[in-house]
Structure 1
């Protein structure tokens, strides 16, 4: 069992290693930069920034290491960067095989469409888990190295609660992947949709007359900065993301079963 998952995951090992190293190096730079900015008057900095930017990247707590990490790494890299990455990767899961005429061969083996889709999706757990475990450990070590402290449980929660959010991004990419025949279209559409949803929650959702629209964005249900600062989070939000992931995956299953290859 899970032959497809093992094969697809093995193809992602190199890319996962490169991405993990790159983000770890970026995290090292950010942690070092925090020491350089010690003593900066952040209130003056906030006054020069548009409110939409402060809201989008959660930069209201830069003076603490937790707030600084939340702004510079988690709101930027985890919410937006990795959200785009996993949606893009998922966008090519099915559409790539259809475009290159490999899907007929895959379905000629004793494997159902449903199982094939699930196993391909599961292959993305390799980068998902690796990034959260390795980068989380690296950040904790770096914070300790500069003489600062961050509650390890808060850091674990920030990474653990990011998984449902990233799973939704994956599911969005999978739905688009079974809808089109070209991987490039599915990948670009997935990137565009995640970016639009990010803007919807952080910018448009801030306007009172459009407040309701933020609830359709997965970024509304995962806010890493409060978690890193004081460990505050809403378990209901995590449940909403998990339900959204399951629903989107079921939709992709139905679409994949009905489409003509």
Structure 2
């Protein structure tokens, strides 16, 4: 059992380590620049100078505290946008790349169902998703202590734990693209485009008559501001993201069972 998960997972360990280190360096840089940024710039005045649509798209509430600064500079950019897009892109190659290169026939010759193949290949994405959230929270918590802007350890841990269902949902978008398209490059571009379009739709439609449309976007259910600024944990949102991920996996399994691999 889970032979494909173990195989794919081992091949993703190094990438997961590099990803965790890279995000940790980004976190350290953001924390390092905050004291000088706060001392030299009127953050509230700077925020007021941004056009309202930009603030709405980026989900900015305040930059006058380290928590608000991290929510904007680190978690919105680093987790919601960059990491979400990366995982959608990376997952979009899990099936399509094997079909594209003619390796899928070998996998399907194994005594394993197509549904199980999809499930196990997707499960291996837990390695980069979890790995990306191992080292950065330590860097964020320790860094905040070092600059005398302490953050609650529970909130720092929560902002990373609650990002995991969100990242799995983004990976689910990539998985569905991977089974729909034969060419890996096309699947990856579609996954990137859909994920970014969902981000924009959720941001721009919030507070409008069409706000309900944004309910299909994973970004609606993960808000670093609520965690770091208000200490509020959205368990309902996390449950919705897990259900969304399951829906993507099941839809991918059903599609892949019925398609012809030529």
What TM-score comes out, normalization by structure 2 length? Answer: 0.95
- What is the match of residue 170 of structure 1? 171
Number of residue pairs matched? 260
Contact 1:95–1:177 (CA<8 Å) still a contact in 2? Answer: yes
Pairwise CA distance, 1:125: 0.5
Indicate the residue corresponding to 1:230 in structure 2. Answer: 230
Q: Indicate the residue corresponding to 1:77 in structure 2.
A: 78
Q: How does 1:87-236 map to 2 (within 5 A)?
A: 87-203=88-204, 205-206=205-206, 208-236=208-236
Is residue 254 from structure 1 mapped to residue 254 from structure 2 by the alignment?
yes
Q: Is the 8 A contact 1:92 1:183 kept in 2?
A: yes
Distance of 1:126 and 1:151 partners within structure 2: 26
* Structure 2, unaligned runs of 5 or more: none
Task: Find the counterpart in structure 2 of residue 37 from structure 1.
Answer: 37
**SS across alignment from 2:120:** helix
In structure 2, C-alpha distance between the alignment counterparts of 1:245 and 1:52, rounded to whole Å: 29
Q: Is the CA contact 2:47–2:63 (under 8 Å) kept in the aligned structure 1?
A: no
Q: Counterpart of 2:21?
A: 21
How much does 1:247 deviate? Answer: 1.1
What secondary structure, in the 3-state scheme, does the structure 1 residue paired with 2:134 have? helix
Give the corresponding residue for 1:5. Answer: 5
Contact kept, 8 Å, 1:74 with 1:225, in 2: the verdict is no
The unaligned stretches of length 5 or more in structure 1 are: none
When normalised by structure 1's length, the TM-score is 0.96
Q: Are the aligned partners of 1:154 and 1:230 in contact in 2 as well (CA < 8 Å)?
A: no
Q: Give the conservation status (yes or no) of the 8 Å contact 2:44–2:63.
A: no
Q: Is the 8 A contact 1:157 1:231 kept in 2?
A: no
CA RMSD between the two structures: 1.3
Report the Cα distance in structure 2 between the residues aligned to 1:168 and 1:219, rounded to whole angstroms.
Answer: 9
Q: Is the CA contact (8 Å cut-off) linking 2:118 and 2:249 kept in structure 1?
A: no
